[in-house]
Amino acid sequence: MSVAPLQPLTLTIDVHLDAADLRAALARDVRSGLGAARKSLPPTWFYDEEGSKLFEEITRLPEYYPTRAERVLLERHASDVAALTRSDTLVELGAGACEKTRVLLDALADLGSLRRYVPFDVSADFLEEAATALGRQYEGLVVHAVIGDFHRHLGKIPGSGGRLIAFLGGTIGNLVPRQRRRFFSALRATMAPTDHLLLGADLVKDVGTILAAYDDSAGVTGRFNRNVLHVVNRELDADFVPDRFAHVVRWNPEQQWIEMRLRSELDQLVHVGALGLAVPFGRGEELLTEISAKFTPAGIRSELVRAGFVLDRQWGENAGDFLLTLAHPASRR
């Protein structure tokens, strides 16, 4: 059995977030989130190296349908996406391990248009390792990794050519409506007429199915949820005892989103040494760590059109678990 030789790799890494930037942002979020009447932390802080590995494990759990459902759609329609866009650059926001990227890269490579891959993520070490391995598998592929925060650094993504900007995994659901409006508008402002957006969004469905996806029987999602406390302990000299917090999942029918929370199992006082904070938690008090909104096809269409996009196609809208939407910027007057 012969093994194909590794391709030479052209790799550039732009770093717009270093360790000091991340620590300062974490400090701001911890100070404001733990000081609020309803305590919260943004889900960004799940994804250190351990959190990223835990999330990859979550995507393989039997209860966690979104990754499988999205992959089925990608495998079924990647060639359609490639034919409609003819993009020479694939940009992936929140690239992580870059696993689902292969389907799109293969489709663009088969079409003959692929020239460049731009993974964008906050996790430098995890992203560099994954992007390097992926880049060596495609002959002549230029890999231009960007370490940044999509709330602040969308304008730093390399331009030119025709870009397919993929925002997959249902990550758009982690943003509340005002954040989604801001994100779509900011992304639209960076896009050229030849660019396209491929958006993956989880659909509203049976609540039991959704709840099970975020509260698996093996407890992996609970470990992932508590990992944010380990991050705060390590980076800001806090003394959270993660085992004193229960993993809680709740469906919010009014907002149509899942809420992941950590519930204090006793009265306790947590110190955040680097910030000089003493944070009381009452027994039963909850810390909101993530929302994951679920959508309808009409809702996604409406949000994109309001932000200045024109829809090309949607796949998965017929009573499916997941939705892929392809859109391009409306012409400016």
Domain regions of the chain by residue span: 10-15+63-206+295-329, 37-60+214-293
Secondary structure of the chain: what % helix, strand, coil (to 5)? 40, 25, 35
The CATH architecture of the domain made up of 10-15+63-206+295-329 is: 3-Layer(aba) Sandwich (3.40)
Write the pLDDT tens digit of every residue in 202-227.
999 999 999 999 999 999 999 999 99
Exposure of 225 by Cβ count < 10 A (0-12 exposed, 13-18 middle, 19+ buried)? buried
Closest CA to 211 of 244, 264, 253: 253
Mean pLDDT for the chain? 90
- From residue 79, give the alpha-carbon distance in Å to each of 88, 107, 110, 274: 14, 5, 9, 51
Cα separation, 11 vs 143, whole angstroms? 5
Give, in order, the Cα–Cα distances in Å from 217 to each of 198, 223, 226, 252: 32, 12, 16, 21
**pLDDT tier for residue 5 given thresholds of 50, 70 and 90:** very low
- Strand partners of residue 252: 257
pLDDT value for 1: 32
Residue 6: the pLDDT is 45
Whether 7 shows a pLDDT value over 80: the answer reads: no
CA dihedral 75, 319, 306, 195 (to 10 degrees): 10
Asked if residue 30 lies in contact with residue 160, where contact means CB atoms within 8 angstroms, the answer is: no
The Cα–Cα gap between 79 and 109 comes to: 10
Provide long-range contacts, Cβ within 8 A and 24+ apart, for 55-58: 55/96, 55/224, 56/96, 56/97, 56/99, 57/220, 58/216, 58/220, 58/221, 58/224
- The whole-number pLDDT of residue 145 equals 86
pLDDT single digits (tens) 264-285: 999 999 999 999 999 999 999 9
Residue 82: strand, helix, or coil: helix
pLDDT at 98: 60
Alpha-carbon gap, residue 290 to 47, rounded angstroms = 12
AA identity, residue 56 = E
By C-alpha distance, which of 46, 40, 45, 34 is closest to 221?
46
pLDDT given at position 164: 97
Report the pLDDT value the prediction gives residue 126, as an integer from 0 to 100: 65
Interatomic CA distance for residues 55 and 220, integer angstroms: 8
From the list 289, 305, 286, the residue with the least C-alpha distance to 297 is 305
pLDDT of 238: 98
Residue 3 pLDDT > 50: no
Least reliable range by pLDDT among 9-13, 40-44, 47-51, 322-326: 9-13
Dihedral, 177, 168, 302, 313 alpha carbons, nearest 10: 180
Q: Is the pLDDT of residue 48 over 90?
A: no
Is the pLDDT at 174 greater than 50, yes or no? yes
Q: Which of 70, 324, 331, 85 is nearest to 213 (CA)?
A: 70
Please state, in angstroms and rounded to a whole number, the distance separating the CA atoms of residues 202 and 96: 18
Question: Structure pTM?
Answer: 0.91
Q: How many CB atoms lie within 10 A of CB 246?
A: 15
* pLDDT reading at 83 higher than 90: yes
Residue linked to tokens 């731009």: 118
Q: How far apart are CA 225 and CA 232, in angstroms?
A: 12
Residue 322 burial (CB count, 10 A): 26
Residue 135 confidence (pLDDT) above 80? no
pLDDT band at 64 (very low <50, low <70, confident <90, very high): very high
Phi, psi of 141 (to 5 degrees): -75, 130
